[in-house]
Amino acid sequence: MIAQQDRKLALSYISVAYIAFLIGTLMGLLQVFIRNDKLDLPAWLDYYQILTAHGVLLALIYTTFFIFAFFITGMSKSLGTFGPKVRLWSWVGFWVTLLGTVMATVLIVIGEASVLYTFYAPLKANGWYYVGLALVIIGTWIASFALIGHYRVWRKNNKGQLSPLFAFMTITTIIMWLIACLGVVATVLFQYIPWAFGWTDTINVELSRSLFWFFGHPLVYFWLLPAYIAWYVIVPKILNVPVFSDSLARLAFVLFILFSIPVGFHHQLTEPGITNFWKFLQVVLTFMVIIPSLMTAFTMFANFEISGRKKGATGLFGWFKKLPWKDIRFTSIFIAMAFFIPGGAGGIINASFQLNEVVHNTLWVVGHFHITVGTPVAMTFMGLTFWLIPYLTGRKFTKSMKVLAFVQIITWSIGMLLMSTAQHVLGLLGAPRRTAYSGYNGHPSAMEWFDGILSSHVTMAVGGSILFVSAMILIYIVVMSMFLSPKALKVEDQVEFPMAESDKSHTPKWLENWWIWIGIAFVLIIIAYAIPLSSMIMHAPPGSEGFKTW
């Protein structure tokens, strides 16, 4: 077990994550019923406030706090107990991120920031909302640098050695995150805050959108890579096999540093201000992440097959039956991976240049989120939560908790399957995203969308309700594991942190030369962004004043 003080740190992060999860999923439940026209909100609460809270709390806060809890625990386990400075700065990072979260949440609740989590200008929220968001980012930077500090101490004490795989992957994710945040920090500090407080009169809208998406796409990889860490490092241990290939795992990760960032324009394919050449160039770069994704898929199936054959499986697919289906730590993550197959395919559709027009800003995109971040990522985090909290609290993961965990994972899968399928179908029919209930004055086309069995409001609401039940079961499991489950006094009751052995004897050293990867990443960013961004600045139209349209 890792040091008491490191556990306390990780548990604090997890607690915030699940408070955000609780509120965020409740907001999700309200949404499906408002869209269904079955729920009228009181006058002081608005659909778009709820939507903003749902997006911010789940996509930004739940993920970020959970990811840091996972990183802190794994880094303490793989590199050793944190030193006093690392611990201090991790706490500073925690409090700064929390302060930012609370500020942003309060401003959403009082109706000063119904701008959704993309906060597109010239919708103008209260200036303190942007300060809150900036603090969230700065807090994660502080916590990130604390972890980098911990890693550097290890490197200094282990000269010439490659770091353990978990630490390597954590540092990769953090480097990607630090570079990605430069875009959002630039726009929030130099565009939004001066404008929101009235120090400047207008804002360059297209530039702010592009800087946002410089950050917005790698943000999704910031959610995904920690899940990949679990897939690469945790899953093999549960399967009782070593890491399939240490060098390929590392290569896949560094490719994400290169190809996560210079790709934001694929979120802006249907908008003006960017020429087709630059849009298409970034589409090509976007598709490069398919390469590490294929490597990951191969590795996962290799692990499954090797593990199954070790247990005596024969034939082409015999290994499938030998997988540890009764172990929720595995089954949860396996289902998460399965959801990522249509999720990833949908992502390819979204980024396919002209094809984007068919789905852009329709409910399809909402469905896509829910089978990428909402299931592959979130369900991997759930699968980690089951053992991570007992591991940190020294409590048992009891039999009844295991049963509940199965119920939770299965309900989440069913709910998500119903809701996301409805959303995908509705999106293809043309129903827009981010809207409260609307029949467009009874327009026949709008009425038709919701006529199907799968595409009806009912399917979405049933799915959403099942998801909420599942979320509440998870909250129950979290509370039990945190405070109430019996202490694991005997060694055999103690919950382990499954971390697979990785043979790094054949791994080339240059994979851990970060300056190579950071250097190439910046070259790609400059190629993809320098000219279009500078033309947005030099050929900018007169800027926009702010509007509060809610």
Partner 1 sequence: MHFHKFEKIWLVFGIISLIVFLSVVGITAFSHDHHPAGGMDTIDPEKVNETAPFDNPGVTQLDEDTYQVAIVAMAFGYTAPELKVPAGKEIIFKVTSTDVVHSFTIDDTKVNMMVVPGQITTRSYIFDKPGKYLILCNEYCGTGHHYMFTEIEVY
- Contacting partner 1 within 148-187 (CB under 8 A): none
Q: Which of 547, 522, 438 is nearest to 214 (CA)?
A: 522
Stretch that binds partner 1, among 127-135, 415-423, 484-492, 502-510 (CB under 8 A): 502-510
Buried b (16+ CB within 10 A) or exposed e, 304-313: bbbbbeeeeb
Nearest-angstrom CA–CA distance, 80 and 154: 8
Least distance to partner 1, CB of residue 255, Å: 12
Among 63, 101, 191, 362, binds partner 1 (CB under 8 A): 362
Choose, from 35, 54, 150, 370, the residue flagged as catalytic: 370
Q: Which amino acid is at 308?
A: G
Q: What are the structure tokens assigned to 532, written together? A: 């279009």
Residues 6+ apart with CB under 8 A from 227: 336, 376, 377, 380, 381
The string of DSSP codes covering 454-477 is TTSHHHHHHHHHHHHHHHHHHHHH
**Neighbour tally for 460: CB within 10 Å:** 27
Among 430, 458, 476, 493, binds partner 1 (CB under 8 A): 430
291 binds partner 1 (CB under 8 A): yes
Is position 18 annotated as part of the catalytic site?
no
Please name the residue that has the structure tokens 């990130």: 144
358 binds partner 1 (CB under 8 A): yes
Least distance to partner 1, CB of residue 509, Å: 11
Stretch that binds partner 1, among 16-24, 143-151, 264-272, 467-475 (CB under 8 A): 264-272
Considering only residues 434 through 463, tell me which ones interact with partner 1, judged by CB under 8 A: 434-438, 440-441, 443, 445-446
Residues 6+ apart with CB under 8 A from 205: 120, 121, 122, 543, 544
DSSP 3-state of 52: helix
Nearest-angstrom CA–CA distance, 316 and 154: 43
516 binds partner 1 (CB under 8 A): no
Nearest-angstrom CA–CA distance, 127 and 107: 10
Q: 24 or 139, CB closer to partner 1? A: 24
522 binds partner 1 (CB under 8 A): no
Is position 368 annotated as part of the catalytic site?
yes
Nearest-angstrom CA–CA distance, 226 and 104: 25
Choose, from 329, 360, 424, 433, the residue flagged as catalytic: 433
Among 5, 361, 398, 456, binds partner 1 (CB under 8 A): 361
Q: Which of 217, 212, 209 is nearest to 260 (CA)?
A: 217
| Residue count, binding to partner 1 (CB under 8 A) | 73
Among 12, 172, 245, 413, binds partner 1 (CB under 8 A): 245
Considering only residues 92 through 131, tell me which ones interact with partner 1, judged by CB under 8 A: 114, 116, 120-123
Looking at residue 199, what DSSP letter applies? Answer: S
Choose, from 368, 395, 424, 457, the residue flagged as catalytic: 368
Is position 221 annotated as part of the catalytic site?
yes
36 binds partner 1 (CB under 8 A): no
Among 15, 247, 398, 465, binds partner 1 (CB under 8 A): 247
Nearest-angstrom CA–CA distance, 337 and 353: 26
317 binds partner 1 (CB under 8 A): no
Least distance to partner 1, CB of residue 80, Å: 28
Q: Which amino acid is at 71?
A: F
Among 83, 486, 519, 541, binds partner 1 (CB under 8 A): 541
Q: Which residues are catalytic?
A: 217, 221, 368-370, 433-434
